[in-house]
Structure 1
Amino acid sequence: MLAVGALCQLAAYRLRIPSILLLLVAGFALGQVVSPESILGRDVLFGGVSLAVGIILFEGSLSLRFRELRGLSRSVWRLCSVTVLIAWVLITAAAMVAGVEWELALLVGALLVVTGPTVIAPIVRQLRPTRRVSSMLRWEGIVVDPIGAVLAVLVFQAIIVGGSEGAFTTAAVTLARTVGISAVLTLVIGGLLELAMRRHVIPDFLEGVAFLAGAVGALVLSNQLQAESGLLTVTMLGIYLANRPGLRLEHVREFKENLQVLIVGTLFVLLAGRVTPAEVVAVAPTALVFVVLLILVVRPASVWLSLLGTEATRAERTLMAFMAPRGIVAAAVTSIFALEIDHAAERAAEEADLGGETPLETLALEADAERLQALVEASADLVPLVFVTIVVTVAVYGLGVGRLAERLGLATTTPNGVLFAGAPTWARQAAEMLNGLGVPTLLVSLAPGEVSQARMAGLRVERTHILSEYAVEDMELAGIGSLVAATFDDDTNSTAAREFGRTLGSQHSYQLRRQGVGTRSTQRTATRLTAPVAFDPPLSAPELEQLVREGMQVRRTKLTEQHTLAQFRERQPDAVQLFYVQGGRAQVVTADGTTPPSGVTLVTLVRPRREM
């Protein structure tokens, strides 16, 4: 399972498609050969699924910081409350239109109000939307997951109890217990973890393991005190820890990110393996009507109604209205509730066989057993219905949202821009040249002179340090595909390249050649502390600045079959090759890379006295 999950995610990355599609297809295919339950057993399977989902939500909630909500607080609040209620009502109605029994329709509505980090994160990573859109998607995806799970628990218990008065009382008590238990455990376990971190009780290499143990312990204890409350607990715990001032969680986040990728791949393969072709075929007509209503009616209506009068722009509301893929929480919780309905029916049948103290009580027990047995039969299509919903929504949103986001100007599926750390003269000239070739650029500098000259040239520039909290976590990077760290501080360049490599990819993060580093092993900088060196020949910041003072300027040259790279080098032997642009995408030239001999536009630092 681990190998299949890893291979599917690698293939999806290369093909630039949502990994969940391949994971579901692979799991569905493997499930026809061997059932996950036959290997693990039903109890182990669902126990493991519950733990895994909790870990995923904890990892996602560790990335939710309240400062991201500046200018978006009302929008995010509405998405996590009003949108959920409207969606629940509309999804329930859509399920009933598709032919689902009204009790199960209420449960389906609660289960499918969620989106989730397992489907949102890969799409956001591929889509690279604006910070505002990314924040709204992540907050909704992570926070609504436990809300949907708790709502499903309330609906489930109300269905099992039966009767409006008893159902309402049960739901109210369950909700109060769930929120109270989650809040208390969050404060206690979160406080203990925070205290251990601040007093350095936990060594660096055990931070990830310690936080994982804390999250799992909170999940299990919460579920023991109140069924299915653990997801809300771990989400609140993650948000609490993520927003504690001065608490450094880099080791924890890195550990959890790697673990989350592993878990997601395994979970989707396992859960998809429980669905048979016959079940999918049987539910297909109902599922297709249901999914069409979800995509074309439910999501747009719930988003537009809830976000009216908020800070969200018209373009942002439009994109959010067509972005609601369902993920692992919907699949996992649906499977668990389908099993719980079976258990409830079995218990009711046993109680009916034993009889009550009076004939009326016996008749009531028998009627309740018959009601639950009918519910079991009606719920047989619940898991395949949700399975089809997940596949179709991931396919539609994952494959189609990129084009919509680009048309709305909120994202790009092919980020080709260049971020310059530092704004020396040659970098400003290169940015102007790239802009003229249709490549977006962003310069980051603290030097007032560099910033003012960049603004006078009409360039996009941010006045901040490249390693500031704002630059690393909040700066708008939509459209940016690579980094050139070009400050006069080599250590800043190396650190910036490694830090932004997490977002842009290490293969797209470059630094200038370090100054005064020898070739002996005692003088060379450790490989893990450096990044790929930009340009050919590779030069340091002072060397590039000296060339500019000598009169060299940034120019562009179209390489053709008549004027090839070899001919250019012959005519300009002292030129510094900076970038080549092909198909609107800029690629940083390196000494050990390969520049196409023709068919590209070469951006170089040359002496202008020679004709290009």
Structure 2
Amino acid sequence: MPVAPYLALVLALGATCQLVAYRLRVPSILLLLVAGFLLGQVVTPEAVLGRDVLFAGVSVSVGIILFEGSLSLRFRDLQGLGKAVVRLCTVVVAIAWALITASGMIAGVGWQLSLLIGALLVVTGPTVIAPIVRQLRPTRRVSSMLRWEGIVVDPIGAVLAVIVFQTVIIGGPELSLGPALLTLGRLVLISTVLMLVIGGALEVAMRRHLIPDFLEGVVFLAAAVGALVLSNVLQPESGLLTVTMLGIYLANRPGLRLDHVREFKEHLQVLIVGALFVLLAGRISPAEVVSVAPTALVFVALLILVVRPASVWLGLLGTPATREERTLLSFMAPRGIVAAAVTSIFALEIDTAAEEAVLASRQFGLPPLETLALEAEAERLTALVAEAEHLVPLVFVTIVVTVAVYGLGVGRLAERLGLATTSPTGILFAGAPLWARQAAGILQGLGVPTLLVSVSPAEVSQARMAGLRVERTHILSEYAVETMELAGIGSLVAVTYDDETNATAAREFAHTLGSQQTFQLRRQSEPLDDSSHARRGAGSAVESKQRTAGKLTARVAFRPALSAPELEQRLREGMTVRQTKLTEQHTLDDFLARQPEAVLMFVVSEGHATVIGQDTAVPRSGATLVALVQPRPEGR
């Protein structure tokens, strides 16, 4: 198959699988691996791209993924969790490495390759953790621990693999601490120097406004790829550590705004992840999977049932992590693209090392003893090549099973532990006027989580006296945007008197909740009949000059769409927020006939709350309607 159609097919499969997985609420990696596996039975990526191009592209892509992930790691997110995160990235890794190595040997893998597999599989990875966290939406504490572990441990696993490869695989069965320490020292030194030099240069360029906004993402991408490649040239396989350290350095520089970079990298990462899983899964044949199935099943069972729980519980002893958090972390260790990519690379490195050893043993004119030593080394590495043929399919099966088990089962566990919800339906109110407090109280009584955010001491005090969950902060504060607990929250309704605050809050929280779930009140400057986004393309040129640009506003809440002053006026006229059960005997039509001036706000069905907008389909019956209505006449 020609290269261009093949790449187009890979990208199309990657995008389609992720979209379908989102709709079905299943881990996208499962569909990507299946699609790649099936495509690989028709045409393999190496047959189209060639081995060198394929692995060079994989290496660069993994570096970009880790750089993007590390840009989100900020030290302030570790408040109260620093000790736990440090343990996850050190002690837990060491215990897991030892236990995975032992598991490999129990499953029948030689000790040398078991050490290498142990190093490769201590990783979890942002490519599998991020989608699960996005779907699960756990507490901030759990989310921070999972993200830090997933991103930081990836390069640590790669570093461990480099040390094992050079000291055990290449160095021979006689273990030596000296070469290992020397390799580790070079890795850390090169990564640190490149981080400071390249990171410092980017920081200076940003602070002096030398990079225009539209080029920030491209420049940072080029810098990350350059750092990765240069680091690998200076010390093989050190690039992942370099780009991860570079991302963390930039993310934590005070006052450095990287919004354009993060947004650019986010979209690029989604594209790369889809393509990589399809490509790497295409290298596996059914025969290879069948040949390692018995070993793989024993090995993966030990990983899930023994290795992860033991390493987490032992490693986090004496940390602030709660029992519930440790339990969830014990059953959350899916392997991802870094494990797949680095395993493929090292399998190729073992093959290359064996070929070089065979060529060296065939040289003429060498002393007999040296020739015998080279022949013995060539035989040892050739035997390792035969054993390493099962390395890639073994890791492939591990990725599929761990993603399936953790991705499909962790949601229910997190809910039972009270740390997350798989279907967040709560409502976040930006602002806490009286009608919002009334609505929040009703929703809370219907089993819908609510959160009110306000800077008004009076509003906050009255909300607390009403037993409502409330935060005293500005909706656009750093705390609200980046730290505030949103577990269980599915939608935002911005209801402050400031239209610009409402619009900005809706756009900001759309990154977390999705633009379909963020609403604001109708702007005070817009007429009532112009509140629907469906009409924004109509009107005269004069009207278009006066109307707010669609990209600067969010979906308009409630029906009819009223502004903040109009809602307050309705309250002063005696209207109040009430709930009404819609049934076959009292349908929506009956309700509207009795309450023609009602403002429809929310509809609740089976504990799921939906904000009513201009285009929301409200059921006629079988749900509870929350609306601003006229008071009931006395005696009724």
**Alignment TM-score, normalising by the size of structure 2:** 0.95
Q: Does 1:571 align with 2:594?
A: yes
- Aligned partner (choices 273, 286, 290) of residue 282 of structure 2: 273
State whether structure 2 residue 48 is matched by structure 1 residue 25.
no
Q: Does 1:288 pair with 2:297?
A: yes
Aligned partner (choices 534, 549, 560) of residue 537 of structure 1: 560
1:348-387 matched pairs, under 5 angstroms: 348-354=357-363, 357-387=366-396
In 2, the alpha carbon distance for the partners of 1:22 and 1:450 equals 48
Distance across 2 between alignment mates of 1:55 and 1:569: 55
Alignment partner of 1:196 out of 192, 195, 205:
205
1:598 counterpart residue number = 621
Aligned position for 1:232:
241
Inter-CA distance 535–305: structure 2 relative to 1 (3 Å threshold):
same
Give the conservation status (yes or no) of the 8 Å contact 1:106–1:155: yes
Q: Is the 8 A contact 1:355 1:361 kept in 2?
A: no
Whole-angstrom distance in 1 between the partners of 2:564 and 2:510: 20
Task: Give ranges in structure 2 of 5+ residues lacking alignment.
Answer: 1-9, 531-542
Report the equivalent of 1:116.
125
Query: Is the 1:319–1:404 Cα contact (8 Å) retained in structure 2?
Result: yes
For residues 207-237 of structure 1, give each alpha carbon's deviation from its aligned partner in whole angstroms, at most 9, with x where no partner exists.
0000000000000000000000000000000
Give, in angstroms, the shift of residue 52 of structure 1. Answer: 0.1
Corresponding residue SS for 2:43: coil
CA distance in 1, matches of 2:188, 2:409: 37
Greater alpha carbon shift after TM alignment, 18-27 vs 351-360: 351-360
The partner residue of 2:327 within 318, 323, 329 is 318
Q: Shift of the alpha carbon at 1:160? A: 3.1
Amino acid at match of 1:238: G
Name the structure 1 match of 2:540: none
Could you report, residue by residue, the CA deviation over 1:269-305 in whole angstroms, capped at 9, with x for unpaired residues? 0000000000000000000000000000000000000
How far is 1:355 from its partner?
A: 5.2
User: How far did residue 593 of structure 1 move?
Assistant: 1.9
Specify the SS of the correspondent of 1:418: strand
Corresponding position of 2:82: 73
Instruction: Tell me the residue number matched to 1:452.
Output: 461
SS at structure 1 position matched to 2:545: coil
Alignment partner for residue 526 of structure 1, among 531, 549, 556? 549
CA contact (8 A) 2:604 2:624 kept: yes
User: 3-state SS of the aligned residue for 2:556?
Assistant: coil
**Contact 2:168–2:174 at 8 Å: present in 1 too?**
no
Matched pairs, number: 612
The 5-angstrom pairing of residues 492-511 of structure 1 reads 492-511=501-520
**1:522 counterpart SS class:** helix
Shift of 1:162: 3.1
The whole-number CA distance in structure 1 between the counterparts of 2:331 and 2:460 is 38
Equivalent pair of 2:168/2:175 in contact (CA under 8 Å): no
Q: How far apart in 2 are the matches of 1:503 and 1:223?
A: 35
Aligned to 1:436: 445
Give the whole-Å Cα distance in 2 for the aligned partners of 1:545 and 1:225: 67
Q: 1:355–1:365: 8 Å Cα contact kept in structure 2?
A: no
Report if the CA contact (8 A) 1:445-1:462 is conserved.
yes
Report the residue type matching 2:136 in the other structure.
Answer: L
Q: What's the C-alpha RMSD, in Å, of the aligned pairs?
A: 1.0
CA distance in 1, matches of 2:617, 2:108: 60
Alignment equivalent of 1:176, drawn from 185, 198, 205: 185
1:165 positional shift: 5.9
Residue 286 of structure 2 is aligned to residue 263 of structure 1: no
Is structure 2 residue 334 aligned with structure 1 residue 309? no
For 1:354 and 1:170, locate their aligned partners in 2 and report how far apart those are by CA, in whole Å: 27
Shift of 1:168: 2.4
Distance 2:633 2:272 in 1: 59
Contact 1:149 1:333 survives alignment (8 Å): yes
- CA-to-partner distance for each residue in 1:378-416, whole Å, 9 max, x for gaps? 111000000000000000000000000000000000001
Partner of 1:87 in structure 2?
96
How far apart are residue 516 of structure 1 and its match? 2.2
Q: Report if the CA contact (8 A) 2:170-2:353 is conserved.
A: no
> Tell me, what secondary structure is at the counterpart of 2:544?
coil
Give me the whole-angstrom Cα distance separating, in 1, the residues matched to 2:353 and 2:253.
42
In structure 1, list runs of 5 or more residues that go unmatched: none
Distance 1:191 1:65, change over 3 A: same
Residue matched to 1:210: 219
* Structure 2 equivalent of residue 466 of structure 1: 475
Partner SS for 2:626: strand
Q: Which deviates more, 151-160 or 113-122?
A: 151-160
The correspondence for 1:138, drawn from 143, 147, 157, is 147
Cα contact 1:157–1:167 (8 A) shared by 2: no
Cα distance in 1 for partners of 2:411, 2:335 equals 17
Moved more, 540-549 or 404-413: 540-549
Distance 2:318 2:469 in 1: 30
CA distance in 2, matches of 1:171, 1:355: 32
Deviation at 1:371, TM superposition (A): 0.4
Asked whether the 8 Å contact 1:291–1:393 carries over to 2, the reply is yes
Q: Supply the distance in 2 between the matched residues of 1:166 and 1:593 (Cα, whole angstroms).
A: 67
In structure 2, the partner of 1:341 is: 350
Task: Map Cα deviations across residues 13-34 of structure 1 (whole Å, 9 max, x no partner).
Answer: 0000000000000000000000
Q: How does 1:582-597 map to 2 (within 5 A)?
A: 582-597=605-620
1:550 lines up with 2:573 in the alignment: yes
Compute the displacement of 1:108 (Å): 0.4
Identity %: 77
Counterparts of 1:25 and 1:314, CA distance in 2: 36
Match of 2:59 in 1: 50
| Aligned-partner SS, 1:521 | helix
3-state SS of 1:17 partner:
coil
> Does 325-334 or 547-556 show the bigger shift?
547-556
Matched residues in 1 for 2:74 and 2:275: separation? 28
Classify 1:62/1:534 alpha carbon distance in 2 versus 1 (closer, same or farther; 3 Å): same
Contact 2:605–2:624, Cα closer than 8 Å, also in 1: yes
Q: Which amino acid aligns with 2:557?
A: A
Q: Which of 392-401 and 350-359 deviates more?
A: 350-359
Does the alignment pair 1:126 with 2:135? yes
Q: Is the 8 A contact 1:356 1:362 kept in 2?
A: no
Partner of 2:420: 411
What amino acid does structure 1 have at the position aligned with 2:90? S
Q: Tell me, what secondary structure is at the counterpart of 1:71? A: coil
Query: What amino acid maps onto 2:506 in structure 1?
Result: A
Pairwise CA distance, 1:163: 4.5
Q: Secondary structure of 1:462's partner? A: strand
Q: Do structure 1's residue 13 and structure 2's residue 22 form an aligned pair?
A: yes
Q: 1:556 & 1:46 partners in 2: Cα distance?
A: 60
Matched position secondary structure for 1:602: strand
Letter in 2 for 1:469: E
SS at match of 1:562: coil
Report deviation, 1:164.
6.2
- Rounded to whole Å, the distance in 2 between the matches of 1:434 and 1:139 is 35
The Cα of 1:166 is off from its aligned counterpart by 6.4
SS of match in other structure, 2:397: helix
Compute the TM-score of the two structures, normalised by the length of structure 1. 0.99
Letter in 2 for 1:453: Q
**Counterpart residue type for residue 586 of structure 2:** H
